[in-house]
Amino acid sequence: RKEVEQDPGPFNVPEGATVAFNCTYSNSASQSFFWYRQDCRKEPKLLMSVYSSGNEDGRFTAQLNRASQYISLLIRDSKLSDSATYLCVVNIPGGSYIPTFGRGTSLIVHP
């Protein structure tokens, strides 16, 4: 079983829609959680960190559920420019800081 699991999608939504992605992680001792965005043939870039109490950045909301070992990303009022792959990243504990990536969830926002 992979350490970090995501539904690859694609999620195909119209502009203005609300869409949510989940990501599960296997190591209950994991401490740090992030969402990265990757555009086609580009490098991943940090979208937002995920805090225990949940956090919001504009149209994006991230939440962490430690009991069920998953994190989520909610995008409200989707824009065409939100089309990308969203990567769930978990720091797997073990002494060193090792960002471990899920396979990514593809989002396509259409007019």
Partner 1 sequence: NAGVTQTPKFRVLKTGQSMTLLCAQDMNHEYMYWYRQDPGMGLRLIHYSVGEGTTAKGEVPDGYNVSRLKKQNFLLGLESAAPSQTSVYFCASLGRGGRGNTEAFFGQGTRLTVV
3-state class (DSSP) for residue 20: strand
Alpha-carbon 67 to chain mean position: 18
* Distance in Å, CB of 28 to partner 1, minimum: 20
Binding letters toward partner 1, positions 25-64, x by CB under 8 A: -------x-x-x----xxxxxx--x---------------
Subset of residues 69 to 98 that bind partner 1, contact rule: CB under 8 A: 87, 89, 96-98
Alpha helices (H) in 6-105, listed in sequence order? none
Distance (Å, rounded) from C-alpha 71 to C-alpha 102?
A: 12
Closer residue to partner 1, CB minimum distance, 15 or 57: 57
- Answer yes or no whether residue 103 interacts with partner 1 by CB under 8 A: yes
Residue with Cβ nearer partner 1 (10 or 16): 10
Q: Which residues contact 28 (CB under 8 A, 6 or more apart)?
A: 66, 69
Whose structure tokens read 């939440």? 63
Chain positions contacting partner 1, by CB under 8 A:
8, 32, 34, 36, 41-46, 49, 87, 89, 96-104
